[in-house]
Structure 1
Amino acid sequence: MSSTRRGTALAFLAAFENLDIDAHISLRAPTCSNIFTPSSQPPPLNNSGFAAHLSRLRAVIERFPVWPKEIMEDEKQNRVVIWATGEAHFKEEVRDGGLTQEEWLYKGEYMFIISLDGSGEKIERVVEFLDSKAADKGRSLVRRATGNLQHQK
């Protein structure tokens, strides 16, 4: 039997597929905060900051499926912990010939700690542990793709 908490967590992951801003924001409480860790990662984002972050990614990334490897529910704390992997597929038009198709594929590993409201339907806080080495590569690819996009304009 699937809980509301688990359903919300799975919807959170599914919203990454197309970097669906509306889907992400609809899952979040108005005061939700997204905290990236370790501390070398970007600062925490509120809902508008997270929407802007997704918007920047959508400019260069076609899709970003994220798959759970393991999901753990903590009923007492009203939390879900997800160990996941994901792949960012960059848009064809922002890739340059300096990298192979395989080098343009970003693969990352994540741990999400999702704290929910009493109903289990709204996310109040996300702590997102990133694979630092992979995240550095991902940011480098996003910068390169964004630069390529700017040169096309």
Structure 2
Amino acid sequence: MPSKRLLTAQKFISYFATLDQTVLESILGENYYHQFAPASINPPGPFDRNGFLAHTSGLSRVMTGFPVFAKEYIESESSNQVVVWATSKTEFREELKDDGIPREEWEYAGEYVFMFTMDENGEKVVRCIEFLDGAATPRLLELAKRARVNLEQIETSL
């Protein structure tokens, strides 16, 4: 039977498929800390619980999902941690994809490592260090920015 810490890590990873904020709200500890790495790509953050929830809530404005697929889970009972090696793909909202770039370029795929530290019960994540794909993340940021601009144009034309 999987441990609570492993189930909590799996639940965190599952969040990205639907971007349902209630999933994150249910598993992030009150003292949650999130940091993106490596620093060389100048990622946003770090974030506390409220900051991370605000950051992730913006994803659903431009995406219907951002499924993350775990390739491997490594669990440490002694440190109460789970490390996840994963890949992802984006699902940008169709109405935000413009013809300025080919459709297939809206299909971003990346690779990640999540390092989760759990609370004493293993039911809440208290810390996550998320290593982003250094080569691919700049492209994701460009696509997200373009989608946000397209969203603003749609909203102002209504």
- Regarding TM over 0.5, the answer is yes
Aligned to 1:36: 36
Q: Deviations over 1:92-147 (max 9, x none)?
A: 01110112221001111100000001110010100000012211111110000000
Structure 1: gaps (5+ residues): none
Counterpart CA distance in 2 for 1:21 and 1:135 is: 22
Structure 2: gaps (5+ residues): none
Query: What is the Cα-based RMSD across aligned positions, in Å?
Result: 0.9
Residue identity (%): 41
Counterpart CA distance in 2 for 1:85 and 1:123 is: 20
Deviation beyond 3 Å, 4+ runs, structure 1: none
Aligned to 1:90: 92
Aligned: 1:22 with 2:36: no
Q: CA deviation at 1:64?
A: 1.0
Q: Give 3-state SS (helix, strand or coil) of 1:124's partner.
A: strand
Q: Give 3-state SS (helix, strand or coil) of 1:120's partner.
A: coil
Counterpart CA distance in 2 for 1:134 and 1:20 is: 24
Counterpart CA distance in 1 for 2:135 and 2:143 is: 13
Aligned to 1:108: 110
* Higher helix proportion: 2
Counterpart CA distance in 1 for 2:44 and 2:154 is: 28
Q: Give 3-state SS (helix, strand or coil) of 2:55's partner.
A: helix
Q: 1:1-153 maps to which residues of 2 (within 5 A)?
A: 1-39=1-39, 40-153=42-155
Q: Deviations over 1:74-109 (max 9, x none)?
A: 110000000000111100011101122210011111
Q: CA deviation at 1:47?
A: 1.5
Q: CA deviation at 1:21?
A: 1.2
Q: Deviations over 1:20-75 (max 9, x none)?
A: 11111210110101110011221211111111111211101111111100100011
TM-score normalised according to structure 1 size? 0.97
* Letter of the structure 2 residue corresponding to residue 49 of structure 1: G
Counterpart CA distance in 1 for 2:20 and 2:112 is: 19
* Letter of the structure 1 residue corresponding to residue 127 of structure 2: R
Counterpart CA distance in 1 for 2:104 and 2:48 is: 33
